[in-house]
Structure 1
């Protein structure tokens, strides 16, 4: 007797095994640094890294004179045109000026401005702006917002609040408005500050006054960011910047320009803290005329020709390391001659970061090491301290812990390959607090992009006899000694653990080696004999190589070639999941049947036509005359016959004696591929298609390519009224008059088409077939 036992899955939990790699806490700008204390430490706006802040004397302010908001935007009296032109309003002379990059100077706009109360004159102007092809000027002294066309500077209108805001027992505005500065949002609305009433007026893009936000105080400059948030400067003391809410309330902004920089578009030129415009990079050398003719200088722009060099910059003596700066102007458009100012940016010399309690969820956990990633420039350093405990203590208690109670105390002076690490010297404890001391020389700051804290400590000591860890002191020494080898060995093991990513087409590197010119993705395809076209996009190459293994069994077949064409044309058969027409208003209850996975009911086009399907020859005694029978003769066989008039260049000399099967061979071993006509537009796509057909078709077949394009396109292949008319559906046929064919349609009798069922003279005759009662 033979007993057969069937293995059943075990219901017991898996046997616990010791981990080979520690887990870790990751702290960075994306998941958060989880700070409990940030003392003189700030986040770098671009990467959210931890750095030392600027010293007070080097820190930009949002309330700088000129309305540039610390260099985040152009000054209030400067505007950028849609073509990149720079316009400046000389508030002292009430004159509009335009920057000429060829002469590197500001030139006055003719017939514009001047002091006065005329339509085109200004009185104590301040802010300007450009939007929708119009130039807006805050004519403060004349109590109006002047609007000019940017093309030709034709006067358009004067915008003002309605008279109703000054009337009534409780007028909205107590004083005549004095527009100071303006800003725009993405919808073209205009926001104008009113310094006389401490308000902000809102106009529509067409110039209609909509509402006013009051109670802000003496507002001056205004700007908007990429999110249409409105910032205004309120003069003090002290001067503050407020963020306006849609309901009219405002919030004081405590952060500096560095924190708000990601919210604003980048300005083309530099505006320093003194309000000076650095336009040297926008200046273009003009073409100088010599005896040999005009010669273009490097960097010259079209149209920059002439003999003058523009505004004369008197040469001054400057040190070689600080040459004379060109293209420096004040807010009135006057050139400033001085030597290049050295970079005097300074940082604070110390700062402290303390994390919150990091929980390992392990009793008496021995934390392993701290890994810092970032940069430590010369003259700076970072000192790492740790503290562990079995219970959570408050942040205030952590800040009051004496320095001698903190452990580890390791100093990082440089980061090799952007990384520095140290062992945690604190004892076992479930919770850990990390303290980093940033120290610098004032000229640079250390930067921490991320912090990784590994736990628990899994040392190579577990492979040694127990005597090496018999007492805590010996165990600590052994762990620290073996960590020198553990880090190197663990890095190699990590490469082996993640080596599978190189064998997956979706994750393998595609960057080309500069020495060999071969990328790993193409090299991976060569393992299985697949050649990837370098003209393909990276996504197409990855997808083609991913599906190559499934297509090997179909190579040389109709279905295999069709799937390769779908990959080449980027047609996804599963693009439309669950697109079956629904016959129920609500889905079936979940207890009726198991839920079926969604699938696509859309079928991609066949793309390939085998010519043997077109074979419709008529054979004597084996066919019927009709659409499915085609007469054939010598044109199909086309063989030379003795004494039958063979012609040079037309008759074929064939050595294969198979004349009886010539009608079958005419369509045999041929197929046509139909692809969109857009694939013929570029040479790269056309060659990719030809290469794929050459490599994937069966060797004994002949492939033809047919580019499919619309057969009837109004405006391209035909013109309505010229060679095309829009006709109606044929109304029927008349016996003995209309020949049957494609232009004739048999219809129903008139009485069945919805028309009159009785027509005298056509369907009936009175007295013969019809009687009137």
Structure 2
């Protein structure tokens, strides 16, 4: 049976999986699997009775250092979990209104080089350089450039939370105005860039950003988490995360790299058993349950780059550290996927078979259902009674699973997959779906008598399909046999066999890419065998760099213009003999660049190549150049030695010419480092 007799429809890409309807499933470039349900463990609690009194906000930098904002002591602390070290930063601790002092601060955020503080009691935002904690700028009723910030309906600007994001390589700081229920935007230099979310908020308390730049706002009164697009002003987008049914006092907001949303609960229990959790929502807006590993009050959440959580527990002097344990899968309910409508374009089409490329580990299985019809339906119109089951697929070492489609004919066909697991650490994974049509089987090769009885015809068709599946694979291999002698298409394991066709023997240091390049050029290389050019090209294929080849005839030949030779100049002759060997005839030396040889095995292979490819009557040496400068040794400018630009030292090697201005890229001056009075620094 020829492959051209079938038409094949497939789902193999992430986009194809996302076009279908799914429940309790994660989609990736590798296919679909049960939704991940990560597990955490409350490993330790950070802090002590003398560390801080009221942690109001926390943030973690890329190195895992925790920054803690204490509203009662009006100061900032850092905690390094690797060294278990707490340190108090020099700013704050006074409760004043001077630059660098805080009063009831409620928000903290970090960028690559700036620390931002929402100084709520002073109605301002302060920005500090992280490198030395110098004050960069302050935003109050005016921005850092002196321009007035528009007053809201409730009065002047009052920041209660801040978040920092990047888009188009530009840093944007978002400030939540708690009095006017709006979000203000500023650039990295503290210049006001507009407002957003002015009409949708009622009692906003916290904000957060995801990796795509979407802004999330926790509205305590509306009991929702609202999502705003990074494009445009006041553009509320779906989904909304509804907290009404959870019956919680929402506090604390965090977004992970996958767009999942986390919100805490700070309600008073009044003698009840502990029933407060960190609640999780999928990026689609669906509730995903509590975060496993933590139970208790949560007034603030921060997540590090390793997936661990820091939680402000609401207890005095305490922050909990939740360490990520391992990936688990949600197995309480099966994962369901319904494909989009596969269209054969032929009314009354008889579909032939389905093939799944899937991994099905132990304690998991896969149920498959199908439905065909001549009329196209929306996914929500498909009724449960309309699905016809195929045989379930259980654990197997094979990844290709096939089934014959015996249902009624129809132009359109839908598949429903159910992924089921009884082990929370195992999940079926479906990489691709293939559908074949029209119905063609080996039954057509048998006499017509075998097709007269419908019951026996149905059985025989299913029986022959077993042989068909096996023999189809063999036929495909035979059809594509030519690819095994195509250097670009042949599998890597066949390259050594293909090399024997041209007398090439590869050792383990030859990568698949190098082998393909050699085989592609083998015919041309053999024409140059025994020549300098041929040897250079083979070594370049193997190492990636063209070597230097120095022949004795070049070094010791007589100069006809000056009537001198190296043999006359004893000092020069001695140096050349030291570097390249004695002036024997038919000898040459191969000089290799420093990156060409990284291991002894590679050097051994290069020597073997030279010995094989050089003329039989010649002798060769190999020298690996070292990446440094040595007088009287192998030092070659531009190859293993480079002259850098001179370093400018005022008054010693350089002078500043007239009409020259020195500038830097800082948005604000930093005392003791860089400052420009009147430009980015003001004296008050």
Shift in Å, 1:183: 2.2
Normalising by structure 1, what TM-score?
0.59
Aligned residue in 1 for 2:432: 450
Per-residue CA distance 1:125-166 (angstroms, 9 max, x = gap): 222122344322112122111334445655555322418987
- Determine if contact 2:39/2:325 at 8 Å carries over to the other structure: no
Shift in Å, 1:424: 0.6
Q: 1:422 aligns with which of 384, 403, 406?
A: 403
- Determine if contact 1:370/1:424 at 8 Å carries over to the other structure: yes
- Determine if contact 1:670/1:702 at 8 Å carries over to the other structure: yes
Aligned to 2:356, the other structure's residue is in SS state strand
Aligned residue in 1 for 2:443: 461
Call closer, same or farther: CA 1:273–1:509 in 2, change over 3 Å: farther
Q: What is the distance in 1 between the residues matched to 2:407 and 2:15? A: 25
Q: How does 1:97-496 map to 2 (within 5 A)?
A: 97-101=77-81, 104=84, 108-109=88-89, 112-113=92-93, 115=95, 117=97, 119-150=99-130, 153=133, 157-162=137-142, 171=151, 174-186=154-166, 187-213=170-196, 215-216=198-199, 217=201, 218-254=203-239, 261-262=257-258, 275=298, 330=313, 334=318, 349=333, 353-361=337-345, 364-374=348-358, 382-389=366-373, 391-395=374-378, 399-400=382-383, 403=385, 406-414=387-395, 416-436=397-417, 447-496=429-478
Per-residue CA distance 1:496-529 (angstroms, 9 max, x = gap): 445555554444555xxxxxxxx65446535643
Q: What is the distance in 1 between the residues matched to 2:565 and 2:39? A: 93
- Determine if contact 1:367/1:428 at 8 Å carries over to the other structure: yes
Shift in Å, 1:699: 1.1
Normalising by structure 2, what TM-score?
0.65
Call closer, same or farther: CA 1:200–1:417 in 2, change over 3 Å: same
- Determine if contact 1:360/1:430 at 8 Å carries over to the other structure: yes
Q: What is the distance in 2 between the residues matched to 1:718 and 1:685? A: 37
Q: Is the aligned partner of 1:701 residue 2:618?
A: yes
Structure with greater proportional strand content: 2
Q: What is the distance in 1 between the residues matched to 2:64 and 2:392? A: 50
Call closer, same or farther: CA 1:47–1:271 in 2, change over 3 Å: farther
RMSD of aligned alpha carbons: 5.4
Call closer, same or farther: CA 1:200–1:172 in 2, change over 3 Å: same
Q: How does 1:540-619 map to 2 (within 5 A)?
A: 540-568=514-542, 570=544
Aligned residue in 2 for 1:88: 68
Call closer, same or farther: CA 1:44–1:351 in 2, change over 3 Å: closer
Shift in Å, 1:698: 0.9
Shift in Å, 1:113: 3.1
Q: Specify every segment of 5 or more residues in structure 2 that has no aligned partner in the other structure, as ranges.
A: 41-54, 242-252, 262-290, 570-582, 626-634, 654-684
Call closer, same or farther: CA 1:495–1:261 in 2, change over 3 Å: farther
Shift in Å, 1:369: 1.9
Shift in Å, 1:182: 1.8
Q: What is the distance in 2 between the residues matched to 1:338 and 1:264? A: 17
- Determine if contact 2:197/2:228 at 8 Å carries over to the other structure: no
Q: Specify every segment of 5 or more residues in structure 1 that has no aligned partner in the other structure, as ranges.
A: 1-16, 61-74, 283-324, 511-518, 572-604, 619-625, 636-665, 726-773
- Determine if contact 1:359/1:432 at 8 Å carries over to the other structure: yes
Aligned to 1:548, the other structure's residue is in SS state helix
- Determine if contact 1:375/1:447 at 8 Å carries over to the other structure: yes
- Determine if contact 1:45/1:258 at 8 Å carries over to the other structure: no
Call closer, same or farther: CA 1:250–1:373 in 2, change over 3 Å: same
Q: What is the distance in 2 between the residues matched to 1:719 and 1:382? A: 67
- Determine if contact 2:163/2:175 at 8 Å carries over to the other structure: yes
Max Rg structure: 1
Aligned to 1:193, the other structure's residue is in SS state strand
Q: What is the distance in 1 between the residues matched to 2:421 and 2:568? A: 96
Call closer, same or farther: CA 1:537–1:445 in 2, change over 3 Å: closer
Per-residue CA distance 1:321-349 (angstroms, 9 max, x = gap): xxxx9998736761669999999985563
With 94-103 and 240-249 compared, the bigger mean Cα shift is at: 94-103
- Determine if contact 1:408/1:425 at 8 Å carries over to the other structure: no
Call closer, same or farther: CA 1:675–1:83 in 2, change over 3 Å: same
Shift in Å, 1:700: 0.6
